[in-house]
Structure 1
């Protein structure tokens, strides 16, 4: 109940009309604000709709802690993004320059073996006739490229370490393949491959930017030119392929670059053993280690064993 009484505000109707008529022109009209109107507004009666509770719409729960790139990286095996650029119905398989040289060298070797078979059949048919001997020499000296292939096949037999070198241990090797060296190399590669897979599962973008190791002659040579390689592992049973740009030429180039930059390189595991250590199906001829953090002890032991294997190789080839 208000403190001020309403009895004092009661006046006569005639006096109210007179006051209204007098103050109509003289007194200015008082403008009432919205605050005043709301204050003296009549209270509205409540209804049942005021007590009605309307349920809110359910919103999707978004976890802001998870990043979209991490979700894609974890499901990278199942997620196949759309490839940019044109797509062909019959895609062209690109063949590298080194692969083309190897294929041409294989064809030359096949031709040389076929010519040798022809010569053997001629010798058997001719018997002891001396008139057919010049014809055999003409068949062998028809193609100069075939003569180069035959000369390289005879070099291995004329080398001083022909008893040590073979198809499984080529003449470009500088160290012996001991059992402990093989075990250390396998352990180092398996550890680095495990670290690299773990990095790919956490963040694929960072793992691609900072790889632990790379596979192949081209990748190894490109990383060597920018001084990123800490250790180079080559297979001792690479296919014989001479000529400019061939396998033998690339291996010699890798060895010369490693010697200039003082990068250690070793011939420890065969191609199949390298693939087994890295859990690959295809045979691997070259592996370049870029970061051995986490396997420092194995790396030190491998370098120590590599020096001993090189000393042993020099002792065997010196005699």
Structure 2
């Protein structure tokens, strides 16, 4: 081919070069960078800044950050307390009626009767007892040198032994030994800790399979279906004779345990039971349904209970 095709004059070359440089400048001014870092630098002077320019958008979290956040959370989360009952469904009254059980009504009626009798006794003047009014047999008995075992008269009309008192009622049939108290406290604390841990994991399963229940009504309901492994009763329950009273309820619980061959004991007073289970109200009865995890303490408690019962029989036989 001829070289004339590749040859151009000087004026054409200058025009072509000037045109390329002008197109490059226009392209540079026309194309703006997409990065948000330099966006404001290339903004036209007539555009004004707004508040949206100062909004910082959060960066989306990666899967690794989300997984690390989950691992930092505690494994167990207690959504609600272990003994709080769920909020009832349906309408709620402004002044709800308090349900009073039959046992509570009998206790209140006996308290009222005692208060009335005490007020009448305080109003009446005390009559001085003359020596002639004392029977001859009683005076001879006081002067006799033979030691007679002391007895007390219970409110029901029967006689009780001298070891019984207000803190150790006549329905108890085992002595409160220090070793028995210690084992009972350890057992209650361990089972309460196990139950709270189960409520923290899964509340529905924990309510279906409780470790222990409180109160005479719950204990009697579990005794009827043979679910109780050990029944713990307080030694200082309030005196309440009569039909469906507190004394009759305790005797019914003891009868149910004897029929089902369920061990029962009287190791602590009401205040000590509530302290062991971290409750404000005094507790009179605790029914243990599952002692798994504290088998050694339970076995030692049964052995110590037999010794305490033998000691009670030996002391009351005098």
Give the TM-score, by structure 1 length: 0.66
Tell me how far 1:101 sits from its aligned partner. Answer: 0.6
**Contact 2:76–2:201 at 8 Å: present in 1 too?**
no
Q: 1:111 aligns with which of 113, 116, 119?
A: 116
**How far is 1:173 from its partner?**
0.4
Extract unaligned runs of 5+ from structure 2: 1-33, 35-58, 131-152
Structure 1 unaligned regions, length at least 5: 1-51, 129-150
Query: Is contact 1:73-1:203 (8 Å) kept?
Result: no
Q: Which residue of 2 aligns with 1:182?
A: 181
Superposition deviation, residue 86 in structure 1: 1.3
Map of 1:285 onto structure 2: 284
1:123 aligns with 2:123: no
Equivalence for 2:262: 263
CA distance in structure 1 between the partners assigned to 2:314 and 2:126 by the alignment: 45
Cα RMSD after superposing both structures:
3.3
Mapped to 2, the partners of 1:256 and 1:80 lie a distance apart of 31
Q: Which residue of 1 aligns with 2:314?
A: 315
- Output the CA distance in 1 between the equivalents of 2:208 and 2:62: 35
Check 1:115–1:195 CA distance in 2 against 1; reply closer, same or farther (3 A cut): same
Counterpart of 1:210 in structure 2 is 209
Partner of 2:95: 90
User: TM-score, normalized by length of structure 2?
Assistant: 0.67
- Aligned-pair CA distance for 1:169: 0.4
1:1-319 to 2 correspondences below 5 Å: 74-77=78-81, 83-119=88-124, 121=125, 123=127, 152-153=154-155, 155=157, 158-159=159-160, 161=161, 163-319=162-318
2: CA distance between counterparts of 1:96 and 1:308? 37
Change (3 A) 1:81 1:104: closer
Deviation track 1:2-38 (CA, whole Å, cap 9, x = no partner) reads: xxxxxxxxxxxxxxxxxxxxxxxxxxxxxxxxxxxxx
What CA deviation, in whole Å up to 9, does each residue of 1:256-278 have, x standing for no partner? 00000000000001000000010
Instruction: Answer yes or no: is the 8 Å Cα contact 1:73–1:200 preserved in 2.
Output: no
SS in 2 for 1:114: helix
User: 3-state SS of the aligned residue for 2:198?
Assistant: helix
**C-alpha distance in 1, partners of 2:288/2:79?**
27
